[in-house]
Amino acid sequence: MNKDDFLAQLDAYLYTLTTEERESAVSYYREYLEEAGADAYAAIEALGSPQSVAERIIQELNEGRVSYAEEMHTDYSYISPDGNGSSPSGNHLGRTILVICLTFPIWITILSIWFAVAVSLFCIPLAFAAVTIAAPVQGIMNYADGMPGQGLWYIGIGITSLGILLLLWKLCWNCVKYSALGIGGLIRKCVNLLMGKE
């Protein structure tokens, strides 16, 4: 069962809830499965059938122990015995801010190095693109000025640069793209860990 099928069936089994509660519950599991990424199938198996998940949600709501937040986030809001709601992410907010401040030299260094490498990887194809255009122009000018050997040399450099550009641009782009996605995923996992999310 894929993610869309699981969410569609879950939504159908939650028909007894209000529209707001149903949308909040489905949104919570959609975000959970999106964060699982390639492991979404394993995450679905770990959750169980959509029917059993729906039954757990309905039971928890009926018991008054859990209600879904009405705000944009989809964290559980636990109702304490005195009736005051508290969010598990709120309990960890101070610790998260403290850890971010204390580890500032580490993560800013990592991000700076990544940014420098990304800019370098982006500039390599640009340099070859510039040579691909400039060298043949210079070659044609030299050829017109009566220096055919030098002109052909520059034209050859332009053609060679074009070949290297065609080989490198996709590699450089993928390196920048996937490293950015990897760093973003790592940051999200670290923040979720600090905030007490699964």
- Mean pLDDT is lowest, of 7-11, 47-51, 66-70, 97-101, for 66-70
| pLDDT per residue as tens digits for the range 105-117 | 888 888 899 888 8
3 to 15, 20, 147, 168: CA distances (angstroms): 19, 21, 66, 36
Residues 71 and 113 reside in one and the same domain: no
- Domains held by the chain: number: 2
State which residues form the domain around 57: 3-86
pLDDT at residue 18, rounded to an integer: 82
- Domain boundary among the residues 86, 108, 123 is at 86
Per-residue model confidence (pLDDT) at position 92: 60
Q: For residue 165, what are the contacts with CB-CB under 8 A and spacing of at least 6?
A: 125, 128, 129, 132
pLDDT more than 70, % of the chain:
81
Give dist(CA 43, CA 75) in Å, integer.
Answer: 18
In the chain, the percentage of residues whose pLDDT exceeds 90 is 7
Would 91 be classed as within a structural domain?
no
* pLDDT tens figures, 171-181: 888 888 888 88
Is the model's pLDDT at 122 over the cut of 90?
no
Asked if residue 104 and residue 79 are part of one domain, the reply reads no
pLDDT recorded at residue 87: 45
> Do 138 and 105 belong together in one domain?
yes
Claim: this prediction has a pTM higher than 0.75: no
What CA–CA distance (Å, rounded) separates 154 from 149? 9
**Domain end: 86, 119, 136, which one?**
86
